[in-house]
Amino acid sequence: MKPSTRKRLFQGVLYAVFIIVVAVVVLTTDWVVIQNNFFNLEVAAETFPEIVTIAAKNTVLYTAIAFVGGMILGLVFALMKLSPVLPYRWFATAYIELFRGLPALLVIFGFAYGLPIATGWQPPGGSTGAGLIALMIVSSAYIAETLRAGIEAVPKGQVEAARSLGMRPSWTMVSVVLPQAFRIVTPPLTNELVILIKDTSLLFIVGMALGERELTTFARDALTTQANSTPLVLAALLYLVITLPLTQLVAKLERHNKRGR
């Protein structure tokens, strides 16, 4: 048998197996049960207004707070890690390695429950505020490394040219290096934002009031009270509505950067 014939025969077998598996799934699934439990229009209509106006809004708000805070902290620690002063560099390295190495869930739990018990400290915003601070710190560790890589990717010749024009080191960093570094790392930063959107679901462990619930907590509670999985499907769709445009933006920025090289 010729290799080309054997290849076509093998592909034909794969197509046949795929069609058989799909046919078995379609013919053996109780679609009425699936529709009633996952795509119930009455439950969807009842849940939809609040899951959008409360849960989706809170998810976007929590992500924005954690990302902006993470950016500010991340920039500070990126500059500290590049500092010629050794104690700054050591502290930044320890911070970044610690919070990149710990699970975000453990950090949230520590800030929401561990610190108040151990020190009596009550974070602003209660347990939700503590969860946001934890997310901010964890994301800042990843953002710091991304920004550091971006700063180091800026050609040294541009720094030398700016210094030869009489610019001070601090102004060179602000006006020459950082704008280019942010442009270089925009795709990974956008990717970090997408991850952070999904990480807000970890806030479920802090025990939120009704008006503070994000998508996952809201869907979980609705699933329990209505004994139906449709709220989970709605939450999943809303996550996709928020994240898919951002993932497409990341892909577009990466293509743009490749063309610019």
Query: Could you state, in order of their start, the residue ranges of all structural domains in the chain?
Result: 58-212
DSSP assignment letter at 209: -
Mean of the pLDDT values across residues 115-142?
89
* CA–CA distance, 226 with 64 (Å, rounded to integer): 31
Task: Classify 124 as helix, strand or coil.
Answer: coil
What the block records as the tokens of 217 is 């907590």
What percent of the chain is modeled with pLDDT above 90? 50
pLDDT digits (tens, 9 = 90+) for 14-60: 999 999 999 999 898 888 888 888 999 999 999 999 999 999 999 99
Is the pLDDT assigned to residue 187 strictly greater than 80? yes
* CA–CA distance, 193 with 136 (Å, rounded to integer): 11
What CATH topology corresponds to 58-212? MetI-like fold (1.10.3720)
Residues with Cβ within 8 Å of 153's Cβ and at least 6 positions away in sequence, in order, are 181, 184
| Confidence grade of residue 261 (pLDDT, cut at 50, 70, 90) | low
